[in-house]
Structure 1
């Protein structure tokens, strides 16, 4: 045991669409890339499958909330460069992500040299878009079920078209505008059913011009979205061009990429950690786990007892041997299945209850191993 903090993500073994095993394999494919958390263990514990990964800081959605749901142009430009780089590195490993959203981009743990590195988590929707050996691209198809989060997904995804690299990049553009505007024009639409609601979202995206969407912001942001939407299905994106667009954004507003983000300026420059409910919640859980560290076991313990990591997701500790860990819910998302379950696409509907269950599980685990 090395007392490194970890996140433990759990999934019912009775799940109709299990994802954790594939997610673990994806982490292994991406191992060593900057901004990708390490994955240390996948296995079964009781009624759950578990995945142990690096513990990170809050998500960009959390930080967006802390910053009164608006990011400055400077912060978005610096974020965009990092986020494009993360997606580029994944694409270079032959994978597409397919569920771009602020909840899945996290910063590093506070008080470390990676505190403002942007990490990407939750690869349950990841998919090979080409053969790793031959580089043969997957074929274009239509009438595909929806995969991802409706607010940010590409127009082509709404139209049932097979996703490729272009769709990840378009979704990023929607996230950038969400950060800049505070909301997107297709948020808050009402319909009789969820299916109709997501159809309305797709229609609104198609009828909202890039000019109107990006009005009042540097033109390079509109050029980014225009480029992403014009990419061909198999076309190799020019990632460097896209990142250079955001260098021009910084130049146009007289700023440089100095690594000073909006959340670092909160609380009179003391940063997001000061008076942060997120920080207090997670340090409290860490303190609980420090207080209930299990007795030493022999050297034959499984990998989960010696390899520890960190990240933010639904976490539940049914093992008696894990060192410190934190709890945060994963956001619901669609599986690429024949039948679309639109209800799973409603963001944040289970987050609070999952956090409560995670904390209760920590207490029960501590009790069951005789540590309290």
Structure 2
């Protein structure tokens, strides 16, 4: 699906929107550019009348606060250029990113090589570790919330969309939030942790677990619970949780996964609620596999060189991938 032209509008008299990229309940994402510098950006906007109907603050105002807590990491996160009210909308102006990893996985016929999985895993762990270092949880770890950069940053994986992020450290005491057994479910069903399914308080372990499901899908093509039959959405949620927590996943990992993912699975399964994950250890699992195989960590991913894949990609040689900035609102059953 191509980007649709829109009636152009400006934000702050500086950023001019040119194309509609995508949208969800109450908001949209547009492609835009800075009229002073020519730099491309993405504009996320949310209609403010929703605030008045629900008495809730704008979701994008919350996300802007999260970006401010993240400060300005050196790489791997879009820069927040501006946030505020503009012509009846609450608006975020962010760096424009390239295709997300969910789209790229589809282009590669839903199968990444182990070399690409190893390179992606190390970068994705870097991003999650940084978020955790700021006292925050990502919460909604999924392929569509990671995207490659543009231009010179096309080899860098970016983490974005922090609308579901939350603090795991008390900002006053600096202590870990206590365990609570009755919380609202958050995240995207295929990648949500077992604790998220069970409405438990989340911790750093849950982001690490969700990333495991993402990497498992990248390597295997699909997750064991994707496509299962259930008479209702609630029944499907329950069955998915049972598979993640029980023998179905253990058997799948034992028979279908390389040693690195087996070790990763065993490691996060033993993490305690307040325990800090050993990010360096997890990165080393994949770095050691790269070294063992003699693979160069050159950030040449499968979608850059179809010859790396047994079945190639879905992209004809003359096809140019449209860059996307993806926003997902709420719990995504897919």
TM-score range, shorter chain: 0.7 to 0.9
Give the conservation status (yes or no) of the 8 Å contact 2:148–2:154: yes
CA drift of 1:37 comes to 0.7
| The one of 315, 318, 321 aligned to 1:278 | 321
Taking the TM superposition and a 5 Å limit, the aligned residue runs for 1:114-193 are 114-132=153-171, 134-193=173-232
1:65 aligns with 2:106: yes
Q: Residue 333 in 1 paired to residue 320 in 2?
A: no
Selected match of 2:119 from 69, 74, 78: 78
2:3 aligns to what? none
Q: Is the contact between residue 224 and residue 252 of structure 2 (CA under 8 Å) also seen in structure 1?
A: no
Structure 2 CA distance for aligned equivalents of residues 25 and 156 of structure 1:
26
> Contact 2:181–2:199 at 8 Å: present in 1 too?
yes
Query: Which position in structure 1 is the counterpart of 2:30?
Result: none
Is residue 50 from structure 1 mapped to residue 91 from structure 2 by the alignment? Answer: yes
What is the TM-score normalised by the length of structure 2? 0.80
Richer in strand (by share): 2
Residues 250-271 of structure 1: CA distance to partner in whole angstroms, max 9, x if unpaired? 23434232222101103899x9
Task: Report if aligned partners of 1:102, 1:175 keep a CA contact under 8 Å in 2.
Answer: yes
1:129–1:137 contact (8 Å) kept in structure 2: yes
The 1-side partners of 2:188 and 2:91 are apart by 24
After TM superposition, list the pairs within 5 Å mapping 1:312-351 onto structure 2.
312-313=325-326, 330-334=327-331, 345-347=332-334
How far apart are residue 273 of structure 1 and its match? Answer: 9.9
1:182 and 1:39 mapped to 2: Cα distance? 33
Task: Report which structure shows greater RCO (CA 8 Å, sep ≥6).
Answer: 1
Tell which deviates more after alignment, 184-193 or 49-58.
Answer: 184-193
* CA distance 1:273–1:214, shift in 2 (3 Å): farther
Runs of 4+ in 1 over 6 A off after TM superposition: none
User: In structure 2, the residue corresponding to 1:40 is in which secondary structure?
Assistant: strand
Of 143-152 and 99-108, more deviation after overlay is shown by: 143-152
Q: Distance in 2 between matches of 1:40 and 1:159?
A: 37
Aligned residues: 288
* Residue of structure 1 aligned with 2:82, choices 41, 66, 72: 41
Q: Alignment RMSD, CA only?
A: 2.2
